[in-house]
A = this chain, B = another copy of it.
Amino acid sequence: MVQSTTKPSVHKVGFISPPAWFDISPTEFLRIAPKNTIVMQAVMRLPDFNYQVDGVEQFINSVPELRACFNSLTESGADVVTQFGYPFSLAHGWEKANKVQKSIQGSSRTSFVMMGVEIVYAMKHLNCKSIAIASTYYSGKMSSILHEYLLEAGFKILHSENWQSQGIAEDKGSNLFIGDGELDPTAWKSPVDAIANAVRNVSKNASAADCILVSGGGMRLLDIAETLEKEVGKPVIGGDLAIYWGILRRLGIKRSVRGHGKLLANLV
């Protein structure tokens, strides 16, 4: 009996990027993706969007824009579309964020992977129940929103630190995001040393945690997760890893991605 192969000749992946930020995720993803993968990107257009405010309303109100981006990428032929940036999920709360994801995906044959939704499934996949958080450039207010979201999703939060509690940035209480200079969250490059130190600090102060979660999404872990996990002895998970994991799973990839931490090594 001849088995028919349904393997596609090419995997088409779409990325939705937040406004006014240079997001290199599509090309970074290609480094770990199967060779027959091609990528596209749509930038959210929110002319009035402002990273320097203290309210989450603009994230809640951006659902129609996420939908428009999703549609433009499915019309281009994407098999999977992902979305960068936790707050576009966090702002809704866990249950509602799932509804947003399902609503945008709708009856499309294209899957929709939201960073804030996927990080929960990723941590559950690795059987993490009690977690410690390095929330880096999240202000106290934004960290609280993250905590509420994760509690609603069923996690126990043992410990949490941000740039402010680590003494390297000031939280003036008026913004969702903090940090400037090397720590400026709107810069395209992740501050590798600061992230590594944040993970080490959090690990020391919460040795019982099943894993360490790094937020926000701009703090890329792809190139440091493996080393950090060896150092702290537990999974170190973040937004970049979560969406790449989510995409690869939607594409039906089962083969472990090696060298980038436990999550990408566990696609099944």
Contacts and interface: CB of A to CB of B under 8 A. Distances in A.
Interface in A1-20: 10, 12, 17, 19-20
Contacts of A45: 68, 72
Nearest to A78: B22
A72 B19 contact: yes
A120 interface: no
Contacts of A78: 22
Contacts of A39: 24, 27
Contacts of A47: 71
Given A38-B188, A188-B38, A43 B72 contact: yes
Closest 10 CB pairs of A and B: A41-B41, A20-B75, A43-B72, A22-B77, A42-B43, A22-B76, A45-B72, A24-B38, A12-B22, A21-B76
Contacts of A66: none
Contacts of A71: 47
Contact of A23 (B20, B76, B188): B76
A17 B76 contact: yes
A150 to B, nearest CB: 29
Interface residues of A, number: 30
A26 interface: yes
A104 interface: no
Contacts of A27: 26-27, 30, 38-39
Given A24-B38, A42-B43, A43-B73, 17 more contacts: A12-B188, A17-B76, A22-B38, A22-B76, A22-B78, A23-B40, A23-B76, A24-B39, A26-B26, A27-B30, A40-B43, A41-B41, A41-B42, A41-B43, A43-B76, A45-B68, A77-B188
6 contacts: A12-B188, A17-B40, A22-B38, A40-B41, A40-B43, A42-B43
Given A19-B75, A76-B21, A26 B41 contact: yes
A79 B47 CA distance: 19
A175 to B, nearest CB: 19
